[in-house]
Amino acid sequence: MIQFSNVTKHYKRKTALKEVNLELSLGNIIGLIGENGSGKSTLLKLIAGLIHPSNGEVTISEEKVTRRIAAKVSYLSDHDHFYSYMTVSDTLAFYQSQFADFNMEKAKEMINFMNLEAADKVKHLSKGNRSRLKIILAIARDVPIVLLDEPLSGLDPLVRDSIIKSLISFIDLEKQLILITTHEVMEVEMILDEVIVLKDGQIIGHNHVDDLRMRENKGVLEWMKSLYA
């Protein structure tokens, strides 16, 4: 589904990714982990077509990734991009007008599931509720690839729990691939099928979570620490 072929990405004097080769398939929730600056967000942006490789190629279903790939990819940034004067309901309607694949029925179900009020204005939402809204907007799109960049960052445990449950409840793993970058490794481990570890722009580990437990008797965080040692 997603393929990186010898991908390198430079930002002026900094190299964010170095000769990355990677293949990812539908039907998986994949965690992308590593220290700050390891290249996680850059990898997601390359898949989303927001930036382009300096060298190498990124393809989705053998199609070279460009900005037009948005028809297949839903991308949640680690930054807010809301119109603060809109209500939650207005924001859903706006996204529906922008994306033909936006599933309003699913979005409304998630609003209820996450205990948001449709009439509340975005500017009055707490940080936790803004994060819930971001998750809803990303997952409500019926696309094969969903990219979530630090969806749990800075949130209290109760909010994290509701977001993790929403991932389990509202995605279709027969048709979708979910790629999550996170520092809250232990909290998302329960839903991960695979995990990829990045360090200094290179993939230093890629494994199935069940294999880690059964063959190496390690959790994801313990395994990452052993790779970084």
Query: Helix or strand or coil: residue 223?
Result: helix
Domains defined for the chain, CATH in brackets? 2-228 (3.40.50.300)
Residue 63 and residue 227: Cα distance in Å, rounded?
Answer: 33
pLDDT digit string (tens) for 115-169?
A: 899 999 999 998 888 888 999 999 999 999 999 999 887 677 777 887 787 788 8
Entry pTM = 0.93
